[in-house]
A and B are shown apart, each in its own frame.
Chain A
């Protein structure tokens, strides 16, 4: 093939979006959740739950939009377990997250066998959200930016909207201020009469919704079936994306884009046989890049002050 420069073309950038979308959505969820003070490492588990229910619903009803809704809601409801565990029962956030990850994989396997009689992978859904790709008239004609941002599939559009929406909410609305306060100084928030519990519950639920959506993307928009383990660690990459993004929606978005870019790049490097090394080197390239970025940026990035701290109103009143 021609040299390394041939790899840097429009397709690479479109691929970046395609690969980063599930990470963006999960990372956005992590941002909201952790800003409110709840550590969430269960995004991987919530994603796989979202993937599963989206595919199952799309299969059962033939309607991928219902599948999208189902994936969303399944993720949200599943995340409530984390909410109850960490907020009401005051359990360790990391432990709860880890347990949820294991539970999610167990549930999806169990239900796979229950619904389909076998584990592994489901049949193909009759209609995928990929078929609903929409080129926004006018905007999609803009050179370079057009095909990348304005000629996409539904959940990708949702991810763009959510990035902007969350950034706006966090910075400019009262609710956003409450969320940030819940993660920085919950007592101050409680003092002005806002229930920290309610804010945190909402934050966890929202993170469940976005992670569920991320999972739905994998099974009914990017592909046409559910496969056990199809998230393949993306939930954990989202965690890193959130951290290196400084716990902001825009930062999470950019970090996710970076990982997607690195992943898209390594595939194309393999094709042109950039260097004669074992293919495993290419495969770990995006992960190594992420580690370097997180290690490099984490000093600048400040976590919410009360992140992971349990908030018990009775204790504070003494």
Chain B
């Protein structure tokens, strides 16, 4: 008797499952018919393993999508990747699901992006911080790079000037002439920030010592704090970070020890208003939006890599907030002149450590 009851229950369960699957799949077939008349364009985005809420990178791209929704009426979708093996399924899934343009966010997704683009020739793909080789890549994928070295350079100019010549402007600054850079994983965007910063410092303060520590992670606050503390022990009074969430620990260390920090990617002054002098920003929101716009206007630049820099309003440093009055006018003048020179193409900034002559 018991055995029969068991098999009956299992059978009913299976039946219910099958029926509900049939029911729900029926529902799906009806919806597109109603929408075919005025289908809004779907734009998708797959984050890297950092996910949303990183207060910089992935959030910036998502905000670009939201800007597209606001101004162009696109329908945004975000899929978060938990590990690197999710990249290809996430990207392809979005394309198969009717998204006309799919963004991959992050250098680590480069291979996955190309593979998804090859497998889904009917959709457009764009990779933020990803280099797409015009010679070999399919025509439906575009790379978006940034001139992080420009933002790093400007931050370096500020730091180089404040740490020595204008150190009297704030008690937080000492006369040791040392600044530090905390890095996350050593990937090209991070390298460009660091190298740009180094050159900016050296351009205005050749004797300044620039210390660099790589932590190897974008989510380990304790390591970020440790790196910054070690630098401060060695006399650094301005700590720049290109380390994502690890950088929060570095900013925290700067706050604890009463020195300055410089943020990255977005304006990070809200993280510690009395510590973050400025931030080396990356115009992810803007460039994401512009890419969506180009797709909507049928001028998507597939099969190429576009580099966004100071002339596209995509690099620079964030406002000084409460430090605006502390920073001398001469420093601001030098920075503004540097920006003008950059826009005119007068400043050549190296993008790798080797090129910049960093040991």
Contact = CB atoms under 8 A, between A and B. Distances in A.
A230 B219 contact: yes
A157 to B, nearest CB: 18
Contacts of A279: 183, 186, 212-214, 216
B216 A227 contact: no
Contacts of A276: 359
A109 B219 CA distance: 14
B51 A120 contact: yes
A280 interface: yes
B175 interface: no
Interface stretch (B156-164, B222-230, B302-310, B315-323): B222-230
A118 B53 contact: yes
B226 A18 contact: yes
Interface in A15-30: 15, 18-19, 22
A118 B52 contact: yes
Nearest to B228: A267
A305 interface: no
Interface residues of A, number: 39
B256 interface: yes
A270 interface: yes
B36 interface: no
A224 B255 CA distance: 11
Nearest to B236: A271
B231 interface: yes
Interface residues of B, number: 39
B52 A15 contact: no
A229 B212 CA distance: 24
Contacts of A263: 226
B249 interface: yes
Contacts of A280: 186, 214, 216
A18 B78 CA distance: 38
A228 B219 contact: yes
Contacts, number: 105
A89 interface: no
Contacts of A230: 219-222, 245
A114 to B, nearest CB: 13
A222 B55 CA distance: 21
B170 interface: no
A282 interface: yes
B222 A223 contact: yes
Contacts of A112: 53
Interface string A265-280: 0011011010010111
Nearest to B249: A223
A188 B334 CA distance: 80
B213 A267 contact: yes
A232 B223 contact: yes
Given A223-B252, A271-B211, 4 more contacts: A130-B256, A230-B221, A230-B245, A267-B227
Nearest to B227: A267
A272 to B, nearest CB: 9
B138 interface: no
Interface in A95-138: 109, 112, 116, 118-121, 124, 130
A1 interface: yes
A109 B53 CA distance: 11
B267 to A, nearest CB: 16
Contacts of A61: none
Contact of A19 (B213, B214, B226, B248): B226
Interface string A185-225: 00000000000000000000000000000000010001111
Given A223-B249, A223-B252, A225-B248, A271 B222 contact: no
Given A11-B233, A121-B248, A232-B220, A270 B213 contact: yes
Interface centre among A116, A264, A270, A284 (most CB of B within 10 A): A270
A222 B222 contact: yes
B54 interface: yes
Contacts of A130: 256
Interface centre among A120, A222, A224, A230 (most CB of B within 10 A): A120
B10 to A, nearest CB: 23
Nearest to B223: A232
B338 interface: no
A283 interface: yes
B25 to A, nearest CB: 28
Interface string B240-266: 000001001100100010000000000
